[in-house]
Structure 1
Amino acid sequence: MKYFVVVLLCGLLSCTTQNLVKSESKPNIIYINVDDLGWMDTETYGSTFYETPNITRLAKSGMLFTNGYASAANCAPSRACLISGQNTPRHGVFTVSNSDRGHEKTRKIIPTPNTEDLADDNVTIAEMLKKAGYTTGTFGKWHLGDDPKTQGFDVNVAGANNGNPGKDGFFSPYNVKNIDDNKKGENLTDRLTQEAISFIKENKEKPFFLYLPYYAVHTPLSTTNALEEKYKEKGGNSFQNKAVYAGMIEAVDRNIGLILDEIEALNLKNTLIVFTSDNGGIRDISHQDPLRAGKGSYYEGGIRVPYIISWDGIIKPNTVSKTPITNLDFYPTFMDILNVEIPNKIVDGTSILPLLKGKTIEERSLFFHFPIYLQAYNFKTDDGRDPFFRTRPGSVIIDGDWKLHQYFEDNGLELYNLKTDVGERNNLAEVHPEKTAELLQKLRSWRTEINAPIPTELNPKYEASFIPNKFK
């Protein structure tokens, strides 16, 4: 009898161990990348205007990050960082289209040339996962080349080099490539979700990587009449009040709910879900107060974004992490989970797998490099350093509670303590010269290590006193 009990216990322990191993090995991975969704644009992060019950549902099932960052402040470079696992100086995608944005007479130096597409020889996160036995699919905005199938994806719906769906493009007939029209008036966010659900069903018996980069909530803003009327009647506040934008957020949230419902219906418990945005929200559309500025700026409003990660059985439900993370961290995290090695592949992030298990990771600095110009979106509302640009060429380091900006035109330095001044209003560079020098040295050392280009050539067309007509 004792022997039977011992055997039974061993069998149960063995079974439990196998289940634990199974639950952590080769999870399905769903990465939801909403376009231009700001840090404060969900109920989960504090909005009282936008309604996002399904995003809240996801947060309750997993871990919410309060200090999550995009690795760049606008679309293409942030996506290139995520997909390559490398910071902007390595792949050269610094912005969308040309780097000499804004009026030529307001640019003091010649910016670094921009690379518009992610090189095919860069081993992407999808190619890494395929090596681990995953089926890969992308549904939505790609923005890194003509076709993500050349960069590791088995399935591509609506992904090409365009950065938005174009005029009236959120409703069929669509303006984007690699998607067929089903019926006139169909909503693009709804359609991408249905394609994603079909992909899940087809691959439920094997590990899959589902990349779901919605075109929403990017401009041109567009929603249904019913949703627009709903939020007009609800009203907002001086920071968040655009009914069309609120309707787009609700549509995204409802579709995320459909994805979660499908995962539950198929009992795909071993599924790791990431929810985030590619960069900060456009401040003229939705303020991220107390954060300063928005998309295109390297103040917090342009790079701090929502992050929610859920993984049944691994991540403790309804938890919050204050540890800073960036989208550069997901490539090494997935490699860590799967024990995959890519010879000669350099990744610039850190595996956050320990965080997901309730442990800690070693403190590290976060770096951002933007050696180009990005013109103002709305100079009256951008809340940037000057009215002409959302950002001028420069670099940023975040180190603990401290954040240092360096601008290349005038070697301007701005030092902020994010713990006491998350709005970046009180420049402490002269108050704390030793801390400024320390962080500047770290920033310079990082740029040397990564071979980051620093523009120095003067622009002969620059006029210090010139003011474009629209700024007068």
Structure 2
Amino acid sequence: MRAFTKIFHFTPSLLILFFLFSCNRTPEKSESKPNIILINIDDMGWRDVGFMGSEYYETPNIDALAASGMIFTNAYASASNCAPSRACMMSGQWTPRHGIYTVASSERGKSSDRKLIPVVNNAYMPEDNLLFPRLLQQAGYKTCHAGKWHLSDNPINFGFDINIGGSHAGNPGSYYPPYKNVPSLEAPKDDYYLSDLIMDKTLEFIKNTDTPFFLYYASYAVHTPIQPATELLPKYKNKAEWNGQNNEEYATMVENIDAQIGRLISELKNSDKLKNTFILFTSDNGGHYGITKQWPLRSGKGSYYEGGIREPLFMSWFGKVKPGSKSDAPVTNLDFYPTILDVAGIVKPENKILDGKSLLPVLTQNKTPEERPLFWHFPIYLEAYVKNDTTTQDPLFRTRPGSAVRLGNWKLIQYFENNDVELYDLENDISEKNNLAESNPAKRDELFKLLKDWRNEINAPVPEELNPEYKSASN
């Protein structure tokens, strides 16, 4: 995989933070169970942060935190849009096991453009699916959800003691009051930014919790609507574009969320909780291609090319994870469930199926994970965001029904409508420009068989019924 280089720039305060994480002291055995924080930013692309190379967006707090732990350069979401990615992460399971494939209906776009009847989408997480917050809660953790939930009407029903603004809504109606779609949050003044308020409430939780805690911080930002943090706009007005990134309003949202994470880290330091806190930072899917670019990755949110599923990811744990470390191993947010259980010292229930692997040996023992295939299944349609988008398979849809697999540096995508197959060598073609399906039939057939066998093994539904309203381009 192509390497990328980023020079870190630290202010004095950030150097202090980095030093705090860098001290080579192992926590005493008498310390309590570690606090656990999962930060899941909404729609933040692979290169929307400084530690992944962006020279347009300013994320000094996130960059310093990333430098304190291990960065994963080949990290993936298990789906290319919000709800299914979060469902996979929380359940530790591939999409066919819980049936959440998209947001709302799977019949997106014009019916006349859809050749197949897509699989019916499940809009709610099944209540009998054991999510990891419930296991943490049962193990004595105080659990808090802050921000976007999107999997049911109330996260309290899935293992959270406290809910700050979470519901089935996928985005706020506004980042300024009144915050439509965001329950039980009232602004202290008329122009109070939603991300600031969610962190206010989150810090109250941290300050008032003296037992081990789990915080799922999933602020609605930087999802649409794109509404700037107005006080930051002047600094981006004349800032030069970098690598396709030039949206000044979006840039203020990125910097604002970075500031909120800075507030969180400051509170953890001030309360002496940072040293015993495991922190995981990621995003739920690729960046919105009409707003931000992840070049050299192809496409964005909703697509199963790299720009839609590859994510920024790091994990930090004082005294346990070596600062400044890096892993190039392909990993997925399905790995979070078993990793968090290992960090908390919780044994997986025998009847719970997990499709990921714990990354704790990679983090703490510098072990190289065994090579394994990563799978995606999306038997649905997602209409295009950008008119005449040339980065997707066709300009009408971000994705059409299909499946994908990555093994080593090779990636294969199969589309069900016409059984089209695409094969890419990601080591030499990270932009997925050269389809090698015809020129390398041996590798194509190897991955195609692997993908079909996996679908059969987990009984993944494949749409086959033709749509009578479909009108082909030749008609």
Q: Which TM-score band applies after superposition, normalised by the shorter structure?
A: over 0.9
Q: Give the corresponding residue for 2:218.
A: 213
* CA distance in 2 between partners of 1:18 and 1:375 (Å): 50
CA distance in 1 between partners of 2:242 and 2:129 (Å): 45
CA drift of 1:65 comes to 0.8
Paired position in structure 2 for 1:284: 290
Alignment match, 1:99: 106
Letter in 1 for 2:67: K
Q: Any gaps of 5 or more consecutive residues in structure 2? A: 1-23
What residue is the counterpart of 1:451 in the other structure? 459
Matched AA of 2:284: D
Specify every segment of 5 or more residues in structure 1 that has no aligned partner in the other structure, as ranges: 1-15, 468-472
SS in 1 for 2:157: helix
Would the aligned equivalents of 2:100 and 2:123 in 1 still touch at CA under 8 Å? Answer: yes
Aligned twin of 1:442 = 450
* 1:379 and 2:387 correspond: yes
Counterparts of 2:335 and 2:95 in 1: how far apart (Å)?
A: 14
Does the 8 Å contact 1:376/1:382 carry over to 2? no
User: How do 1:34-113 and structure 2 match up within 5 A?
Assistant: 34-113=41-120
Are the equivalent residues in 2 in contact too, given 1:68–1:306 (CA < 8 A)?
yes
| Partner residue of 1:127 out of 125, 134, 140 | 134
8 A contact 1:85–1:329 mirrored in 2 = yes
Count of paired positions: 448
* Cα drift, residue 382 of structure 1: 5.8
Q: Does 1:347 align with 2:354?
A: yes
Structure 1 contact 294–382 (Cα < 8 Å) conserved = no
Residue 419 of structure 2 is matched in structure 1 by 411
Match of 2:198 in 1: 192
CA offsets 1:303-360 (integer angstroms, 9 cap, x no match):
0000011100110001111011111101111222313232311111111111111222
CA contact (8 A) 1:67 1:322 kept: yes
1:223 aligned to 2:228? yes
What CA distance in whole angstroms lies between the structure 2 residues aligned with 1:382 and 1:26?
50
Q: Does 1:150 align with 2:157?
A: yes
Alpha-carbon distance, 1:238 to partner? 6.0
* 1:11 alignment partner in structure 2: none
1:299 equivalent to 2:293? Answer no
The range that moved more, 304-313 or 356-365, is 356-365
Deviation of the 1:100 alpha carbon = 0.6
Q: Please give the per-residue CA displacement for 1:236-287, whole angstroms capped at 9, x wherever unaligned.
A: 2460101000000000011111111111111111101111100000111011
Tell me which of 233, 242, 247 is aligned to 1:242: 247
CA deviations on 1:68-102 (whole Å, 9 max, x unpaired) are: 00000000000001111111000000000000101
1:214 Cα offset (Å): 1.1
Which residue, out of 187, 197, 210, partners 1:181? 187
Change (3 A) 1:238 1:403: closer
Provide the rounded CA distance (Å) in 2 between the counterparts of 1:399 and 1:234: 40
TM-score by length of 1: 0.92
AA in 2 matched with 1:335: L
Q: TM-score, normalised by structure 2?
A: 0.92
Aligned mates of 1:345, 1:225 — CA distance in 2:
46
| Cα distance between partner residues in 2 of 1:195 and 1:427 | 49
Aligned counterpart in structure 2 of residue 369 of structure 1, from 372, 377, 387: 377
Question: 1:277 and 1:22, CA in 2 relative to 1: closer, same or farther beyond 3 A?
Answer: farther
Q: Does the residue aligned with 2:311 lie in a helix, a strand or coil? A: coil
Deviations 1:152-183 (A, max 9, x none): 110001100111101xx111221111323332
RMSD of the TM alignment (CA)?
1.7
Distance (Å, rounded) in 2 between the aligned partners of 1:262 and 1:441? 51
Counterpart of 2:12 in structure 1 is none
Q: Which moved more, 1:224-233 or 1:82-91?
A: 224-233
State the distance in 2 between where 1:21 and 1:434 align.
53
Whole-angstrom distance in 2 between the partners of 1:45 and 1:378: 25
Q: Aligned AA for 1:182?
A: P
